[in-house]
Chains A and B, each alone.
Chain A
């Protein structure tokens, strides 16, 4: 009975507290509640924006968002950062199917084309973009091309981020690899590259260069594919239905990688953060990765510079890259006013390409890319010319940044780098796994 009374007073206390709390929450989140019950949309003058930019990129994007918000105080920008990779694209797809997608989202160009084929993106009418200056002649041609799927424009490019070569200026100087003007000598030859790495290794006492391997299929794929593309190879054709992997070319590249590892010029087991640490602590003179780690090394005050990945196999220059772009997920209830706001937002961010370029990416916005201000950004503008020579991942429903395709290829390449598989076996592994995808009818 005493227990009953205790329980009752506890219950009524909870009930009271619950009602107060609920009242507070409902009044504060009235729109969310209404949306949840009746499926109504968000309040007007909000702009929801999703991206997958974390780390240094994230900080820069945040700064750009803040600048936009200051200029447009009447628009409530609701920016959400999600984890990089497949999960991001799954979430965007599910949100679009769930009829409540973000108004604008970042997408890699390689993935945008798949989303477009799946009917999840709104096609962009080039006429409606003209008032905002978002016309084809203002963007890097390769990126603008890739932004089209089956002839229709679906994305507005923000940047191009290729694989680049970072080098420690102190170590390279000691290794005699720098010319009188301080620029790195030409490494456009397998022997030249190997020699340079050997010289660097003599200076560091540890390694010549470093590439991230463990759990990092993306970097492994970028490294391999750049060299493979320089040999003129392709992997997929026919929207992924045909595999045109050239065994001889692939073997040539994998053998080069295998040799570098065998000679101890690059480590055989290192993960993404470990590779950065290796470069920062001067245990390697060269670091190969996408352009986005520039901020990391600037913050760590490493004496470094960046340049285009060398044309190791000669021939027509090629380098692996992808691009960040803005896409509009399909939303039948989106108003014209919101569309206008989206384009204003995109134009505003593109106008801040200077901030974005400081993060290492080559801005796709030509007015800035061709400006003197960009040229002054060193070392970020050292490799700007490669923007016109980049190769995106071959188109397929299972391809693109962070995709199963990159995982399959990266896993096999990583096995060679780790000394776990011979090149021939790796190629067979790639082929056998790709075949399963190639034979599956496309679900989009």
Chain B
């Protein structure tokens, strides 16, 4: 009975109007009632600020004055688009993404494949690789700054011990600073991709490998022809999650180099932070944020449409 009421709701009205309408109204009210708490928070703290941010970006708002400030029109956007600081920070964010994504995807895959082969002890490797992922960025930064400290840090000590007499000035050399932060980030976040890959690997039926080895396929062959193609979906997910996460970089760079040396590692989010909260220029910062939003949006949409293709084909 109730099932028929449900189908009637979306289609033609056959049921007696009173019962159906009352049921529908009750259902409507329940539905909206249940959804409202979420929607209130959603509008107030997600949609609202987004709209406010867009509006603010057209004004010369200031941090310590309430209200929108003077109307600036497109000036904030033109300033951002012509500001070398803005583009450099954008580049630093992109550079960071380029430096961290390949190792975080490839290395995680390799380690997951190796771990998957083990018959026991998997929990140990899962612990070792994933534990860093749960620690806060501040703890990670403190540890790695200590490791990177010139002369008395562990890495320098080991490098000089194996004969490299002048190790790079990890965090103070503009040529090395971003690489150093990238290395620390790989240590910190590899575990997440590792776990994703492990899960994906476990989905692959063992019979496929057995059948292949019966046919005489080598391990390497099995890897290339079975494992990796069947992991495509996982890889796509890992890739896009990694790229989007890398684009949002702020913590490690702020904590380890403060955007230096001489702003050579400052990512876009830190640029927004400096402009909005150190220079008090919230209107301009909002404009920079919106441009940054467009970049992330573009990446998300690319993945969104790319991941739909195989489904449509299938």
Contacts and interface: CB of A to CB of B under 8 A. Distances in A.
Contact of A118 (B70, B79, B280): B280
Interface in B266-299: 274, 277-282
Nearest to A217: B262
B174 to A, nearest CB: 9
Contacts of B280: 93, 118, 397, 443-444
Interface string B253-264: 000001011110
13 contacts: A89-B278, A93-B64, A97-B63, A97-B64, A118-B64, A118-B280, A214-B172, A214-B261, A398-B279, A407-B262, A407-B263, A440-B281, A443-B63
Nearest to A86: B278
Contacts of A118: 64, 280
A119 interface: yes
B172 A87 contact: no
A90 B279 CA distance: 8
Interface centre among B70, B261, B263, B278 (most CB of A within 10 A): B278
A119 B60 CA distance: 17
Nearest to A97: B64
Contacts of B70: 441
Interface of A: 85-87, 89-90, 93-94, 97, 118-120, 214-215, 217, 271, 397-398, 404, 407, 411, 436, 440-441, 443-444
A407 B279 CA distance: 14
A253 B216 CA distance: 78
A215 B281 contact: no
Given A271-B172, A436-B83, A404 B279 contact: yes
B193 interface: no
B62 interface: yes
Interface of B: 60, 62-64, 70, 79, 83, 172, 258, 260-263, 274, 277-282
B56 to A, nearest CB: 13
A273 to B, nearest CB: 8
Contacts of A119: 64
Contacts of B79: 440
A165 B284 CA distance: 42
Contacts of B83: 436
A160 B172 CA distance: 30
Contact of A411 (B63, B262, B274): B262
A120 B277 CA distance: 13
Given A97-B63, A118-B64, A120-B64, A215 B278 contact: no
A33 to B, nearest CB: 21
A398 B64 CA distance: 16
A436 B238 CA distance: 41
Contacts of B260: 215
B86 to A, nearest CB: 11
Contacts, number: 49
B117 to A, nearest CB: 25
B63 A215 contact: no
Contacts of B63: 93, 97, 443
B237 to A, nearest CB: 28
Contacts of B274: 86
A149 to B, nearest CB: 15
Given A118-B280, A120-B64, 16 more contacts: A86-B274, A90-B277, A93-B63, A214-B172, A214-B261, A215-B261, A215-B262, A217-B262, A271-B172, A397-B279, A411-B262, A440-B79, A441-B60, A441-B70, A443-B281, A444-B280
Nearest to A432: B84
A214 B258 CA distance: 16
Nearest to A114: B280
B172 A215 contact: yes
Nearest to A439: B79
B288 to A, nearest CB: 14
A86 B259 CA distance: 12
Contacts of B282: 443
A87 B262 contact: no
Contacts of A87: 258
Contact of A444 (B62, B172, B261): B62
B163 to A, nearest CB: 23
A11 B277 CA distance: 43
B254 to A, nearest CB: 9
A216 to B, nearest CB: 10
Contacts of A436: 83
A88 to B, nearest CB: 10
A104 to B, nearest CB: 20
A86 B275 CA distance: 12
A145 B135 CA distance: 49
Nearest to A115: B64
A90 B172 contact: no
B9 to A, nearest CB: 40
A44 to B, nearest CB: 28
Contacts of B172: 214-215, 271
B277 A94 contact: yes
Contact of A443 (B62, B258, B261, B262): B62
A93 B277 contact: yes
A118 B279 CA distance: 11
Nearest to B281: A443
Ordered nearest first, which 10 A-B pairs have the shortest CB separation? A443-B280, A443-B62, A90-B278, A215-B261, A443-B281, A118-B64, A86-B278, A90-B277, A215-B172, A411-B262
A311 B70 CA distance: 47
B159 to A, nearest CB: 19
B58 to A, nearest CB: 15
A97 B282 CA distance: 13
B277 A443 contact: no
Nearest to A89: B278
Contacts of B60: 441, 443
Interface centre among A86, A407, A411, A443 (most CB of B within 10 A): A443
A395 to B, nearest CB: 16
A404 B271 CA distance: 12
Contacts of B281: 440, 443
A217 B79 CA distance: 25
A215 B170 CA distance: 13
A383 B172 CA distance: 33
A89 B172 CA distance: 23
A411 B85 CA distance: 14
B124 to A, nearest CB: 19
B142 to A, nearest CB: 13
Contacts of B279: 397-398, 404, 443
Contacts of A411: 262
Interface centre among A86, A89, A215, A411 (most CB of B within 10 A): A215
A435 to B, nearest CB: 12
